[in-house]
Chain A
Amino acid sequence: MSTATTTAPAPVTRRPAPPPRRGSRRPSPAVRAGKAVAVVALLVFTLFPVYWMLVSAFDAKAGLGTSFVPASPTLEHFRFVLSDGGFDVFLRNSLLVALATVLASSLLALLASVAVARFRFWGRAQVLMLVLVVQMVPLEALVIPLFVQVRDLQLLGTLTGLVVVYVALALPFGIWMLRGFVAAVPVELEEAAYLDGATWGRMFRSVLLPLVAPGLVATSIFSFITAWNEFVFAMTLLGGETQNYTVAIGLRSFFGQHSNDWGAIMAASTIITLPVMIFFILVQRRLAGGLTAGAVKG
């Protein structure tokens, strides 16, 4: 849940185009140069880890010199990771777990968000408060009792046990975010459907669902990232069942007792990171919109 952001009630109002600048306000060359330096420094700081990960992943001699470009470019690390390293299996496991989590948590979150966004009922504020507060619970407090529960259910070491836990982790944020998207759908559209003789179920399927679809996509991506990145529960609940490892803990198999295969670790990290980054950039505009919508409307 580290990347998951909760509501940021930021009033996003587009600033009208700035009026033409007066001569006196034109920034001096010194200010412009300072800004350029700041931008370059910022870009280096933000991008260096990603860059270094890629360089090491593609370099057969990772870490043997101070070269900042791959000294001898190779795909060998990726080949090793995906075949002998067993990462093909970890990727499949992670995909299965993440997709199951997305399906289950989106369905539950959609139903719940319609309830809190569309109905005024006694207990509604309490439900929303609960959703807000459970997001703050530290995973370390949950991991001990959930380990015992999953053990009692004989699901230790299985992907099912993991999915059940991830659905619960993804749900609060999903409800909180979807509620904004549902609230943004004009009630008049629903009323029009009723006038045309639709039942509530028909209205839900034919009016609400298509209109909330973009929000559902954004929420799904966040559930996906939650499940894909999660580490503590995967490590605890899967134990020694190496064939069921997800990518986040599969990485640890490249750490040796005395030396680490850094080229392989960085290649595997690249494989884990890229889909998340692509998803993140796809969803960021939606996310900002959804969060502010959720913050303003209810």
Chain B
Amino acid sequence: MARVRPWMLLTPALAVLAVLLLWPLVQVALFSVQDYGLREIVSGEPNWIGLGNFVEIFTSEQLWAVVLPNTVVFAVLSVGCTVVFGTAVAVLLASLGRLWRTVVSSAIMAAWAMPAVTGTYVWVWIFDADRGVFNHVMQALGLQDAPVNWFTDRWSFYAIVLLNVVHHGFPFVAVTVLAGLLGVPKELLEAAEIDGAGPWRRFFSVIVPQLRQIFAVVIILSTIWDFKVFAQIYLMPGGAGSNREVLNLGVWSYTESFGQNRYGFGSAIAVLLTVLLLVITVMYVRTILKEEEL
């Protein structure tokens, strides 16, 4: 009985995961090697075309000029900004007294709790071309003569996405790094100070090595999240596919599938994204395994 019980307890959860997460993953791989459109969905007949979809992706101008830079460069930038900013906030929090630490961390929680959908709409509203507060302020300050539509240009579009993603993502980094900072033995810092290390030196030579594991986890998780931003782009003006300049891998996959009914091609893009994330996840799992025994 004792040997069967864990599996009896696990079976319902594993069944759900198998049917709704693992089998779909197999299916998306199967779709990616088919010309899978509306006809195939209705008939259920397979229409194998081998690696045709992947050849089309890798030879397309869209991938190399637009989608891959939008995905990878954006992820690198936003992970960098999120981690640096989050760490700076953690250091600030650690130096504050009890009252102000509580006040600031509550504000941070509010930013963290904001759902991606409503958060994105608020940023869109702030930067709205006609009535957005950003354009109003810029004009009032005389920095701009007329309202600017910030969503048409690829760079300003992604600057807004970056602002949105960093605003939503830095609280996790700040809270996690703060917990680590409070755990650094004070004796170490005092010893370094007596040895003549300034604040920067103390931070990079004492604190950072102590928190290496925490930084690894924070960086990898942020990378995974920032590679698959979807709502933050899809819900912006032009982000749902009408502006081909701002597509990233996730949105490209979605619009090819559900906009053009090219489910096979969209699946191939999704497979590409999944493989990219899988590589990062393997790194993550190895970090975790070093940290603790499962």
Contacts and interface: CB of A to CB of B under 8 A. Distances in A.
Given A45-B167, A111-B12, A130-B17, A140 B273 contact: yes
What interface size band does chain A fall in?
A: 35 or more
A9 to B, nearest CB: 5
What interface size band does chain B fall in?
A: 35 or more
B122 A269 contact: yes
Contacts of B65: none
B143 interface: no
Interface string A226-243: 001101100010000000
Nearest to A146: B24
A11 interface: yes
Interface stretch (A83-91, A185-193, A212-220, A276-284): A276-284
Q: For chain B, what secondary structure do more than half of its interface residues adopt (helix, strand, loop), or is it mixed?
A: helix
Contact of A141 (B115, B171, B270): B270
B136 A66 contact: yes
B104 interface: yes
A171 B182 contact: no
Interface string A64-96: 111000000000000000000000000000000
A295 interface: yes
Nearest to A112: B13
Contact of B6 (A65, A121, A133): A121
A280 B179 contact: no
B121 A114 contact: no
Interface string B113-126: 11111110111011
Contacts of B104: 39, 42-43
Given A9-B217, A43-B104, A136-B284, A248 B117 contact: yes
B6 A124 contact: yes
A55 B201 CA distance: 44
A277 B113 CA distance: 5
A280 B17 contact: no
A168 interface: yes
A298 B31 contact: no
Contacts of B108: 46
A8 B179 contact: yes
Nearest to B282: A133
A138 B96 contact: no
Contact of B176 (A10, A109, A231): A10
